[in-house]
Amino acid sequence: MTAPTGTFFPGGAILLALTILGFGAFFWRAWRLYRYMRLGRDEARIDHPWRRLRDELVVYFGQRKLLKRPYYVRGLAHAFIFWGFLVITIGTVDLLFKGIVGFDLPGTGSAVFAWTIDVFALLVLVSIAIAAVRRLFFAPPRMHVALDGYVILGLIAILMITLLVFEGAGLSAGLLKTGYARPPIAGTILASIFESHAPATIFAFAWWTHVVTVLAFAAYLPQSKHLHIVTTLPNVFFRKQTPRGQLSLIEDIEKQETFGAAAIRDFSWKQLLDGYTCTECGRCSDNCPALATGKPLDPQKIVLDIRDQLLRDGPKLLADAKAETTPPAHYVESKPEELWACTTCAACVEACPVTIEHIDKIVDMRRHLTLMEGSAPPEAQRAMTNIERAGNPWGEPRETRGEWASSNDLGVPTFAEKPDAEYLYFVGCAASYDRRNQKVARALVQVLRAAGVSFAILASEETCNGDPARRIGNEYLWQMQAQQNIETFKRYGVRKVIASCPHCFNTIANEYPQLGGNYEVIHALQLVDRLIAEGKLHVGRGIAEAVAYHDPCYLGRHNGIYDQPRSVLDAIPGVQRVEIEPHHRERGFCCGAGGGRMWMEEKVGQRVNHRRIEQLLALNSGATKVASGCPFCLIMLEEGVGAKGVQDVIRPVDVLELVAGRIES
Ligand code: SF4
Ligand code: SF4
């Protein structure tokens, strides 16, 4: 592309000065933001470098998370703007290079490059039109529609238009050296239009407008929320590579003096980087069950409040490390309601296109509330006291934990009685004490017996895995519970664990390794799926029935176990599986019990489990049962159908019960 700057003086020199100004403003602001971010506490995020690079390719360059259901159309429009922006950036670097030093960058003179730029400029223009119409007339309820968004769209549109105009005018004036036979389509059309309208002047005007817009864009970008174009790159690279269901460990907890996060310095640098990266798209909030049912929690607001607080406190703290600071707005204004409303369902994390981690921030703030301020809700406090005293959140006697297994002549052995058992069945508090869930535990025992699986339980030697305590923010109690179980496992030489509760499964599989407890952990439905596939378990025909499957958050979104429970249902003759559209698989709607919410009052808005039952009823699918694979989901669904008075319409069950009821010898 021939630059209209002529010899270096004066055009090239002016361009160089403008470039230094534009990029100087960019880097000056970026450096300030980086220094603010480094005010956060340290956190190592460099494990699994290859996986990080793969994520960069798939999530950042491939825009995979942006293109998820139900956001295909707006996701595609945004992806084209992004891809076009990348291509145009290469073209812009070439323009500046050529304008200042007089050479083209290698490869930029090819027909492929010219056509790519031309086609992407058109696609970006179409995508901008779609984005603008959507913002103006169909903005999703939770999306922040601010002037800033229109400014950025306008700047990108000017860039594309001026690019096409100077391309067409340059072709018409013979200023573009095209070493190829077929010039790009848009350029060719515009060339014929400009032929008789002083194309050389139009070329120079459009070219200068283009480069000045680029430089204005560079200077404006770090002042705007569109900084995410840049920060998404490191944010994706440094995303969590540990399992989603694993919370961070407070090491040497006995030696710590402060816990969790309240002020900016308490958040990690990555948690602060998340704030710079938020696109304000509102997808996290659109999918939050707490917000959907009228709670004050808004995951987008949490991320933005932390960012805004960082921008307020950053300059103060850089000037004086001991300056007075305040916690983010939601922490000050609405604690405890906002933070305590979270069910840790991970719908926000799943939906976020730029891999922002909401739960870790919320739990860090809960840690501060619980351990530093002692201000956990009284019911949560009671559950924690019960865990500490009796080893279960209900406060049931520790010694009766194994009674469910000794009744009904089940004759389930304990590890003390059968030390050579292959598997430990970790029953969990709900199946040990809750009558409804005891039936599920018995169903699993039947299934394991029928398939000839060697297993034993710990009975009263088992104690709560600690999940509720950890998610309520009591890391002390979690570590105590985990250590206790790990010691017991060690005493019996446990290597393989079956859990019928996704919370037990998640904690033992993903969190016990943080304290040195490494086991082969399998959820009961994964095991049943395998036993059926291996021909060790035969399931016969029962009554024909339609069964809706409800994805437990800690099985699905936290651990990616979507297919095996479905495959078990599909293997039961007579059962017709129904999906709870559109709230299934990754978009499954929480039952409301996770994150310690099972033991907290739900006084604000509609109960989450009631909304779930409404979604089920709205399906009109003819399903007479709703099956799940989680004791908490079962309790919440039971309560929901009871409250809605639809016990005769749809009955909550565990998939294990459906299997156990149809076992063929
Ligand atoms: S984890 Fe679930 S409840 Fe908590 S903020 Fe995210 S979407 Fe909302
Ligand atoms: S946190 Fe993620 S999903 Fe939520 S508004 Fe920001 S970018 Fe969108």
CB contact burial 254-290 (16+ within 10 A = b; e otherwise): eeeeebbbbbbebbbbbbbbbbbbbbbbbbbbbbbbb
Count other Cβ atoms within 10 Å, centred on residue 14: 15
> What percentage of the chain has pLDDT greater than the value 70?
97
What is the mean pLDDT of the segment spanning 376-388? Answer: 96
| Cα–Cα distance, 588 to 580 (Å, whole number) | 8
Residue 520, classed as helix, strand or coil, is: strand
Task: Calculate the average pLDDT of the chain.
Answer: 92
| Cα–Cα distance, 69 to 560 (Å, whole number) | 17
What is the mean pLDDT of the segment spanning 546-559? Answer: 98
HEC string of 102-171 equals: CCCCCCCCCHHHHHHHHHHHHHHHHHHHHHHHHHHHCCCCCCCCCHHHHHHHHHHHHHHHHHHHHHHHHH
Q: Does the pLDDT of residue 360 top 80, yes or no? A: yes
Q: What is residue 177's predicted lDDT score, i.e. its pLDDT?
A: 66
Ligand 2 pocket member 351 (CB < 6 A): yes
Q: What is residue 110's predicted lDDT score, i.e. its pLDDT?
A: 81
Name the closest-CA residue to atom 1, ligand 1. Answer: 344
For the entire predicted model, the pTM comes to: 0.92
Q: What is residue 408's predicted lDDT score, i.e. its pLDDT?
A: 60
Question: Ligand 2, closest atom to CA 144?
Answer: 5
pLDDT tier for residue 584 given thresholds of 50, 70 and 90: very high
Centroid of ligand 1 to alpha carbon of 289 (angstroms): 7
Q: What is residue 337's predicted lDDT score, i.e. its pLDDT?
A: 85
Q: 208-229, pLDDT tens digit by residue?
A: 999 999 999 999 999 988 899 9
Among 166-175, 372-381, 483-492, the minimum mean pLDDT is found in 166-175
| Cα–Cα distance, 233 to 238 (Å, whole number) | 9
**Torsion of the alpha carbons at 11, 12, 15 and 21, rounded to the nearest 10:** -130
| Cα–Cα distance, 204 to 210 (Å, whole number) | 10
Question: Ligand 2, closest atom to CA 304?
Answer: 6
Residue 614, classed as helix, strand or coil, is: helix
Q: 456-497, pLDDT tens digit by residue?
A: 999 999 999 999 999 999 999 999 999 999 999 999 999 999
Q: Does the pLDDT of residue 333 top 70, yes or no? A: no
Question: Residue with structure tokens 């694993």?
Answer: 246
Q: Does the pLDDT of residue 178 top 70, yes or no? A: no
What is the mean pLDDT of the segment spanning 538-548? Answer: 93
Ligand 1 pocket member 346 (CB < 6 A): yes
Ligand 2 pocket member 282 (CB < 6 A): yes
Ligand 2 pocket member 396 (CB < 6 A): no
Ligand 2 pocket member 281 (CB < 6 A): yes
Q: What is residue 84's predicted lDDT score, i.e. its pLDDT?
A: 87
Query: DSSP of 416-457, one letter per residue?
Result: TT-TT-SEEEE-HHHHHH-HHHHHHHHHHHHHHHHTT--EEB
Q: What is residue 380's predicted lDDT score, i.e. its pLDDT?
A: 96
Q: 478-489, pLDDT tens digit by residue?
A: 999 999 999 999
Q: Does the pLDDT of residue 318 top 80, yes or no? A: yes
Residue 7, classed as helix, strand or coil, is: coil
| Cα–Cα distance, 254 to 276 (Å, whole number) | 34
CA-to-CA separations, 12 to 182, 215, 497, in angstroms, rounded: 30, 15, 70
Ligand 1 pocket member 302 (CB < 6 A): no
Q: What is residue 587's predicted lDDT score, i.e. its pLDDT?
A: 95
What is the mean pLDDT of the segment spanning 401-421? Answer: 88
Q: Does the pLDDT of residue 329 top 80, yes or no? A: no
Q: Does the pLDDT of residue 11 top 70, yes or no? A: yes
Nearest to 297 by CA among 245, 343, 248, 351: 343
Ligand with minimal distance to 346 CA: 1
Centroid of ligand 2 to alpha carbon of 506 (angstroms): 25
Partners of 520 in the beta sheet? 496
Q: 230-259, pLDDT tens digit by residue?
A: 999 999 999 999 999 999 999 999 999 999
Q: What is residue 112's predicted lDDT score, i.e. its pLDDT?
A: 85
Token code pair at residue 62 = 């491939």
Ligand 1 pocket member 596 (CB < 6 A): no
Q: Does the pLDDT of residue 1 top 70, yes or no? A: no
Q: 110-149, pLDDT tens digit by residue?
A: 888 888 988 999 999 999 998 888 888 877 766 776 788 8
Q: 624-664, pLDDT tens digit by residue?
A: 999 999 999 999 999 999 999 999 999 999 999 999 999 88
Q: What is residue 269's predicted lDDT score, i.e. its pLDDT?
A: 97
